[in-house]
A and B are shown apart, each in its own frame.
Chain A
Amino acid sequence: MTENYTALYEQHKIAGASFTDFGGWQMPLKYSSELAEHHAVRNAAGLFDLSHMGEVWVTGPDAGAFLDYALAGKLSAVAVGKAKYSLICQEDGGIIDDLISYRRAEDKYLVVPNAGNAAVVAAALAERAAGFHVVVDDVSAETSLIAVQGPNAEAILLQLVPAEQHPLVTELKYYAAVEAEINGQELLLARTGYTGEDGFEIYIPNEDAAGLWDALLEAGAGHGLIPAGLACRDSLRLEAGMPLYGNELSREGNPYAAGLGPVVSLKKESDFVGKAVLAELKELGAGSTSGRKLVGLKGLGRRAGRSHYPVLKDGNVVGEVTSGQPSPTLGYPIALAYVDVEHSAPGTALDIDLRGKPEPFQVVELPFYKRQK
Chain B
Amino acid sequence: MAKVVAELKYSAEHEWVAADGSGPANIGISAVAAEALGDIVYVDLPEVGSTVTAGETCGEVESTKSVSDLYAPVTGEVTEINDDVVSDPALINNDPYGAGWLFKVAVTEEGPLMSAEEYASANGGEL
Please classify the interface of chain B as helix (H, G, I), strand (E, B), loop, or mixed, using the class held by over half of its residues: mixed
Decide yes or no: A355 and B67 within 8 Å by CB, A303-B62, A304-B62 being known contacts. yes
Q: Number of A residues contacting the other chain (C-beta, 8 Å)?
A: 15
- B50 located at the interface, meaning its Cβ lies under 8 Å from any Cβ of chain A in the complex: no
Segment 18-66 of B: residues with Cβ below 8 Å from A: 35, 38-39, 41-42, 62, 64-66
- B93 located at the interface, meaning its Cβ lies under 8 Å from any Cβ of chain A in the complex: yes
- A260 located at the interface, meaning its Cβ lies under 8 Å from any Cβ of chain B in the complex: no
Whether B42 and A326, one on each chain, are in contact in the complex, defined by CB atoms closer than 8 angstroms, is yes
Closest 3 CB pairs of A and B: A35-B39, A326-B41, A33-B39
Whether B42 and A302, one on each chain, are in contact in the complex, defined by CB atoms closer than 8 angstroms, is yes
**13 A-B residue pairings within 8 Å (CB atoms):** A18-B35, A30-B38, A33-B39, A33-B93, A34-B39, A34-B64, A231-B65, A302-B42, A304-B41, A304-B62, A326-B41, A328-B64, A355-B67
Shortest Cβ distance from A235 into chain B, in angstroms?
A: 6
Give the CA-CA distance A360 to B52 in the complex, in Å. Answer: 28
A binding-site residues for B, Cβ under 8 Å? 18, 30, 33-35, 231, 235, 302-304, 306, 325-326, 328, 355
Whether B64 and A326, one on each chain, are in contact in the complex, defined by CB atoms closer than 8 angstroms, is yes
Shortest Cβ distance from A174 into chain B, in angstroms?
A: 28
Interface centre among B35, B41, B66 (most CB of A within 10 A): B41
Give the CA-CA distance A35 to B66 in the complex, in Å. Answer: 14
Chain A residues with CB below 8 A from B35, complex form: 18
Give the CA-CA distance A235 to B67 in the complex, in Å. Answer: 15
Chain A residues with CB below 8 A from B62, complex form: 303-304, 326
Chain A residues with CB below 8 A from B93, complex form: 33
For chain B, the bracket of interface size reads 10 to 19
Chain B residues with CB below 8 A from A303, complex form: 42, 62
Whether A306 and B66, one on each chain, are in contact in the complex, defined by CB atoms closer than 8 angstroms, is yes
Give the CA-CA distance A328 to B41 in the complex, in Å. Answer: 9
Chain B residues with CB below 8 A from A325, complex form: 64-65
| CB nearest to A36 among chain B residues | B39
Decide yes or no: A34 and B67 within 8 Å by CB, A231-B38, A302-B42, A326-B41 being known contacts. no
Give the CA-CA distance A33 to B67 in the complex, in Å. Answer: 17
Shortest Cβ distance from A234 into chain B, in angstroms?
A: 8
Whether A235 and B64, one on each chain, are in contact in the complex, defined by CB atoms closer than 8 angstroms, is yes
Give the CA-CA distance A302 to B60 in the complex, in Å. Answer: 13
Interface digits, B55-93 against A, CB 8 Å rule (1 contact, 0 not)?
000000010111100000000000000000000000001
Chain A residues with CB below 8 A from B39, complex form: 33-35
Give the CA-CA distance A306 to B67 in the complex, in Å. Answer: 9
Shortest Cβ distance from A194 into chain B, in angstroms?
A: 17
Q: A30-B38, A231-B65 are in contact. List 19 more A-B contacts (CB 8 A).
A: A33-B38, A34-B39, A34-B64, A35-B39, A35-B64, A231-B38, A231-B64, A235-B64, A302-B42, A303-B42, A303-B62, A304-B41, A306-B66, A326-B41, A326-B42, A326-B62, A326-B64, A328-B64, A355-B67
Chain B residues with CB below 8 A from A302, complex form: 42
Chain A residues with CB below 8 A from B41, complex form: 304, 326
Interface centre among B39, B42, B66, B67 (most CB of A within 10 A): B39
Give the CA-CA distance A326 to B41 in the complex, in Å. Answer: 8
Chain A residues with CB below 8 A from B67, complex form: 306, 355
Segment 85-122 of B: residues with Cβ below 8 Å from A: 93
Chain B residues with CB below 8 A from A304, complex form: 41-42, 62
Give the CA-CA distance A30 to B63 in the complex, in Å. Answer: 13
Whether B38 and A34, one on each chain, are in contact in the complex, defined by CB atoms closer than 8 angstroms, is yes
Chain B residues with CB below 8 A from A231, complex form: 38, 64-65
